[in-house]
Structure 1
Amino acid sequence: MSMTFVNITATVSSLASIQTDLHTSTTTLVWVTSAYALAVAGLTLCAGTVGDLIGRRTVFLIGTAVLGAGSLICFFAGDATGVIVGEAVMGVGGAFVLPNSLTVVSASFADPHRRTEAISIWVGFSGVGLAAGPLIAGVLLAHFSWHSVFLVNAAISALVLIVTPFFVVNSRHLGRRIDIPGVLLATVSVVALTYGVIQGSHVGYTDGRIIVAWGIFLAGLGAFVVVERRSGDPMLDVHLFRSASFSTTMAVGLAAMFGFGGVPLIMVLYFERVQGASALNTGWRLLPTLAVYVLVSVVAARLVARVGFKVMLSAGLVVTAIGAVCLLATPAGASYGAVWPGMVIFGLGEGLVLAPTTAAAVTSVAHERAGMASAAVNMFRQLGNVLGTSIIGSLLTSNFAHILPQRLISAGVSAPVADRVAAAAGHGGTAPAPKGPEGIAIQHAVARAFTDSVHKGLIVTAVVLLIVAIPAALFIAGRRPSQQS
């Protein structure tokens, strides 16, 4: 399961190299980071049903093989389209791995408290993958091209395919069927939403294409609810959302991954473009966030046993928002001293939220609904990841492109030079800059414009987290895992 998260941060760490080599636009770059999560979000529910039908281990192995194949597509890609296609294929594999690995873990422990501990360890290993991704990418990028980064998951996939039959027991839930209409409607809705967010930030949200995308999203979502309500064996039992606690838990999972998808993305770009850090150095700078997240995730089950889900989740969202606010201290320079405290606090908050969110969803339903609950929480988490990378990433790139020309001119740069610098920055290149005071002014203006754009993304993230913390404190059931039936 960790390799599904290795891909996220390894790809983010490779963005600068990919953009420089392929000369991609900033919009295309956001699609590179969103394609994977988009596929996971659209197919996770279906993958859980398929696992129930033909066996969780079987589908887990299929997903592992597909994920490895997608990695090889990215490795051989010669343009941005190939990378995006490869990321989408990896997302299909990740969709099959995530819910089935979680169902295997949760079904192995009947005692609710032990199940929560096991799920916390499962979530903690997502942090291991997130932490390993930048470091692995940094080492490889220091010696090879960005293509080499995608060989990592191909190698891990081969190893997992060999050892899984010896350690994982196959299980299934007979009587299920694949909800094809539900799969299609869910996928179309997620794709339309993501397209509207990413493209709308660059062409304007009143553009005809974006309005059509919003219409498709709303129509698809409405049709999905109708189809699932009428289905005798729904992919997602919408009646579960009658529970305010379950619905709020889904919102918390979405909001937490919104932050965990968007903030690392913009911080990687900040470290590389403003602070001039190498890919490996960027990995080390991300480590405080990811290491704290892993440690807190592992002990989260014991904390939940003491304070309950309500306190844990609402407090975790607030702490994560505080971490995002602390990151507003990031300077338009190379100093890391003002950055790491916010990174630590942000990782602490995410660790308090993500593992208990998964456990809260699984333990809030009947045992036979555990697979559906695990698929649902994974879907909402991955949807949050899609929205985090697309909204925060698009906000960063569009705001940077908007304010950079004026910042350059205000710094005394001539209009023709400012236009060339802005155009080059939008495609990951570097325009020939004059030496002397004007060259220094360009460097400072670019750094300030990019840093200000990062700050805007952090503010949006903090606001989203604080808004969701309110219903979390009001509606999530306060029962501890040991009190669950």
Structure 2
Amino acid sequence: MTFVNVSSTISALSPLQDDLHISSSTLVWVSSAFSLAVVSLVLSAGTLSDLLGRRRVFWAGVALFTLGSFIAFLAGSAGLLIAAQALMGVAAAAVLPASLAIVSHTFADPHERTGAISIWASCAGLGLAIGPVVAGVLLDQVSWHAVFLTDVVIGLITLVLTPLLVSESRHPTRRFDPAGMVLGTVAVASATYAIIEGGATGYAEPTIIAAYAVSAVSLVAFVRVELRHGDPMLELRLFRNASFTTVMSIGAVTMLAFVGISLLTVLYLERVAHDSALTTGVKLLPMFAAYIVISAFAARLVRRFGIAVTLTTGLVLMGGGAFALLAAGPFSGYGAMWPGLFVAGVGSALLVAPSTAAAVNSVPPLQAGMAAASVNMFRQLGSVLGPSILGTLVTTRFPRLLHDRLASAGVPAGRADDVVAGIAHGSTGGLTASLAHTVSLASPQAFTAALHQGWLVAGIVPLAMTVPTALFLRRRHTAA
């Protein structure tokens, strides 16, 4: 449900904007409200699942997610749609750590647990894969409203099956940590808000600076409270272990690159290749299908080659896949893209499940809920950073690159400024035939060049992560 919503919402953004007549800055929050809620509340929700019962919190999260999806289906304004996405984000914050903790508690043996977590991760990839395809069909046959009915159906089925198939479990001695929950939520929420909103308005704005200041102060207070608490929401002493910290970082880097590559590819297919939503979803399948299939075998690969080799290989493949996408030109065919998507998909499969299993296996069984919430928080933070950093890089570089290409084609500087400003606001009218032809050539070239810079960053980040992975990750970290 979580990942179906992520990928299907991205596919529906253009029809949404056209139908509701919303600005680009507002459109950012249609998908970002979900991410903000998840990353802010996932740690607290993990604690609540330990206290109240993992099945209970999971079931409540699914019910809330189903309600939010139905509200999104009925939404007739941007405000209501953003509120529905925020509600689904709150629900996803409960579903993600509770579901992972249920899986971890059900399988006590570390090897079996790693295999079960691989299946859990495959389901996340399945959601990412079917989201754009189903959304494309519904957008073509019905409207963007129907896109949100997919999770309503999944939710209703899950609400019926959960009491029948899932046993209840909770932490027997966990204590409530209200100060830690509040401070942790404020620290993460304010930083995430600054990252998302700063990408649209600029990071030097007073409100963005203030948000970062609130995050810093809250973070310092959170650390002090957690170190003194007898049963903290997040056991910060675990981060003294370089191996544990490396695993958390891998989780963030993986999702930064995975979601970032996906977003940039969608932008290329829709704005350069001019593919429909359904065609775009189908063309993303080499990445998502490779992720699903390889994730199912990730546990076996870890047992055979070790966690450090598996994760290092995954980082190299993900970085290599991003670099391979640089072969896609403004007028090239899909044949230049799918190999890079496939390699990135294989790399992500070697990262998501093994790093998740490494985090959960690194702590005693009673702390599985906390570890699950921690790794999900870092992964969701990466999911926010990917679109924010890479998307901002593309949107800021494109106008400059387009202006340069128009100038090199002989368009006067003042006229080039007017054309760039018009395209930035979605208008290409009022152009002479010759200028329209020049723009039709320069615009895809400039946009592709901007995307290349985004893919380049998406490749460098996981490759840079191979150094601490090779230095600090230890096999005993996952064999405790």
Q: TM-score range by the shorter chain?
A: over 0.9
TM-score, normalised via structure 2 length: 0.95
Q: What does the per-residue CA deviation read over 1:198-242, in whole Å, with 9 as the maximum and x for residues that have no partner?
A: 333444433333322222222222222112112222111101111
TM superposition shift of 1:98 = 0.7
- The amino acid of 1:157's aligned partner reads G
Matched ranges for 1:8-23 at <5 A: 8-23=6-21
Q: What does the per-residue CA deviation read over 1:82-107, in whole Å, with 9 as the maximum and x for residues that have no partner?
A: 32222111111111111111111111
**Could you say which residue in structure 2 is the equivalent of 1:99?**
97
Q: Is the 8 A contact 1:34 1:390 kept in 2?
A: no
TM-score, normalised via structure 1 length: 0.94
**Could you say which residue in structure 2 is the equivalent of 1:314?**
312
> Out of 211, 214, 226, which is 1:213 matched to?
211
Matched ranges for 1:167-316 at <5 A: 167-316=165-314
**Could you say which residue in structure 1 is the equivalent of 2:434?**
437
> Out of 431, 437, 451, which is 1:454 matched to?
451
**Could you say which residue in structure 2 is the equivalent of 1:384?**
382
- The amino acid of 1:294's aligned partner reads I
Count of aligned pairs: 480
- The amino acid of 1:151's aligned partner reads L
> Runs of 5+ in structure 2 lacking a partner?
none
**Could you say which residue in structure 2 is the equivalent of 1:64?**
62
TM superposition shift of 1:260 = 1.5
Change (3 A) 1:144 1:421: farther
TM superposition shift of 1:172 = 1.3
Query: 1:259 and 1:138 mapped to 2: Cα distance?
Result: 24
Change (3 A) 1:152 1:172: same
Query: 1:464 and 1:64 mapped to 2: Cα distance?
Result: 34
Q: Is the 8 A contact 2:177 2:232 kept in 1?
A: yes
Query: 2:90 and 2:59 mapped to 1: Cα distance?
Result: 12
TM superposition shift of 1:328 = 1.1
When structure 1 is superposed on structure 2, of 316-325 and 434-443 the one drifting more is 434-443
> Out of 451, 455, 462, which is 1:465 matched to?
462
When structure 1 is superposed on structure 2, of 33-42 and 49-58 the one drifting more is 33-42
- The amino acid of 2:320's aligned partner reads I
Q: Is the 8 A contact 1:412 1:441 kept in 2?
A: no
When structure 1 is superposed on structure 2, of 446-455 and 186-195 the one drifting more is 186-195
Change (3 A) 1:262 1:81: farther
Query: 2:217 and 2:3 mapped to 1: Cα distance?
Result: 32
TM superposition shift of 1:375 = 1.0
Q: Is the 8 A contact 2:255 2:383 kept in 1?
A: yes
* Identity across matched positions, percent: 50
- The amino acid of 2:197's aligned partner reads Q
The CA RMSD over aligned residues, in Å, is 2.0
> Out of 116, 119, 124, which is 2:117 matched to?
119
> Runs of 5+ in structure 1 lacking a partner?
none
Q: What does the per-residue CA deviation read over 1:111-167, in whole Å, with 9 as the maximum and x for residues that have no partner?
A: 111111011111111111110001000000111221211111122111111121111
Query: 1:85 and 1:333 mapped to 2: Cα distance?
Result: 39
Q: What does the per-residue CA deviation read over 1:8-66, in whole Å, with 9 as the maximum and x for residues that have no partner?
A: 11111112222233343333333323221221111111111111111111111110011
**Could you say which residue in structure 1 is the equivalent of 2:150?**
152
- The amino acid of 1:185's aligned partner reads L
- The amino acid of 2:429's aligned partner reads P
